[in-house]
Amino acid sequence: MAVPRAASRAPGAPSDSQSARPAESESPTGYAELFLSLWLRADAQRGDSAAVKLLREMAPEVGLPSWGQEPPVVDRLVAVRRRPEGGSGWLVTVAAQLRSGKEEASVRYFDVPVLVSGDGPAQQVVVPRAPSEVGAPSGVKVPPSVYSGEVPVNSPLAQTVGDFLTAYLGGGPGVSDRFLATGVRLPAVVPAPYRTVVLERVAAAPGVGEGAVGRDGSVARVLAHVTARDGAVRQWPLAYALRLVARAGRWEVSGFDSALDSSSRGSVTGASALGSGHVLLLGLEAGR
């Protein structure tokens, strides 16, 4: 396991030439994740273990936990927040998905302090004290959706959406291309993961109406909810924000829509720029 160069002691205060706040390039989120991973796997009763030795390189003065007969099992660690603390310090909040014994997995949160000094090959990083367990970050209220209308599932618009997603998720390379607007490319999901895709409902932005095909160039923004079933008959509830354009009496998919709330007009990934003659071709993988 590679460990960044660590300091044998906490670095001192920055000089007058240094910024009062750490540079963005020095953000130590990965270092905090690595430290917490080692700390959760270390044990004071096994001071000669590889985890403890690596931990001491990163945090020479941090106390070690003692797990007894049931050490926690670390499933995953993810840094969810960071903020600068003083001239050379950062406080990184890391979410840890843990299991212990027969207990179900739980998510717990730890604040990890990190001190950074210098830059480049001479940079020194150290964790000066043990992590602090803290509460989960506060949730936010979901903003009003821009997709406030409902489109009948038997409308031309909903049928095009359903056919496209069925081909996109279950058809393999090139199958969904016939539903795309001219000049638009969306890389297929390969290998095709689903056997069936059922369109449950279609919500739409204002102005779409009942989903009839509009005049050439008319744009419809929709949010489609589908249930996809794979070869093991597992059900996957998925949602796709799409933008479609009317042409020659039919709806065509012009890309994935990025709008998340009513305050944004949204943007399109993989769609032709309508009316400009230019084409935006961006790769997109399902689920990202």
Question: With 70 as the cut, is the pLDDT of residue 249 above it?
Answer: yes
Question: With 90 as the cut, is the pLDDT of residue 91 above it?
Answer: yes
Question: With 90 as the cut, is the pLDDT of residue 93 above it?
Answer: yes
Q: What is the pLDDT of residue 86?
A: 77
If one compares 3 and 241, the residue with the highest pLDDT of the two is: 241
Question: With 80 as the cut, is the pLDDT of residue 281 above it?
Answer: no
- Characterize 1-31 residue by residue with b for buried, 16 or more Cβ atoms within 10 angstroms of its Cβ, and e for exposed: eeeeebbeebbeebeeeeeeebeeebbbbeb
Phi, psi of 234 (to 5 degrees): -80, 140
Distance between CA 219 and CA 240 in Å, rounded? 16
Distance between CA 146 and CA 207 in Å, rounded? 11
Report the percent of the chain where pLDDT is more than 90: 45
Distance between CA 254 and CA 176 in Å, rounded? 12
Question: With 80 as the cut, is the pLDDT of residue 241 above it?
Answer: yes
Q: What is the pLDDT of residue 259?
A: 59
| Residues linked to residue 196 through DSSP beta bridges, in sequence order | 229
CB contact at 8 A, 169 and 198: no
Q: What is the mean pLDDT of residues 152-172?
A: 93
CB contact at 8 A, 126 and 56: no
Q: What is the mean pLDDT of residues 181-188?
A: 89
With bands split at pLDDT 50, 70 and 90, how would you rate the model's confidence at 240?
very high
Model confidence, pTM: 0.66
Distance between CA 232 and CA 62 in Å, rounded? 47
- Characterize 93-127 residue by residue with b for buried, 16 or more Cβ atoms within 10 angstroms of its Cβ, and e for exposed: bbbbebeeeeeeeeeebbbbbbbbbbeeeebbbbb
Distance between CA 94 and CA 80 in Å, rounded? 6
Q: What is the DSSP letter of 223?
A: E
Q: What is the mean pLDDT of residues 192-214?
A: 93
Q: Which of 43-47, 191-195, 198-202 has the highest mean pLDDT?
A: 198-202
CB contact at 8 A, 125 and 6: yes
Pairing of strands 194-204, 219-230: antiparallel
Q: What is the mean pLDDT of residues 1-20?
A: 43
Distance between CA 57 and CA 127 in Å, rounded? 10
Residue 93 CA, chain-centre distance (Å), reads 16
Q: What is the mean pLDDT of residues 180-186?
A: 91
Amino acid letter, residue 234 = R
Question: With 60 as the cut, is the pLDDT of residue 7 above it?
Answer: no
Amino acid letter, residue 26 = E
Question: With 80 as the cut, is the pLDDT of residue 14 above it?
Answer: no
Burial of 235 (0-12, 13-18, 19+ CB in 10 A): exposed
User: 100-126: per-residue pLDDT in tens?
Assistant: 777 788 999 999 999 988 776 767 889
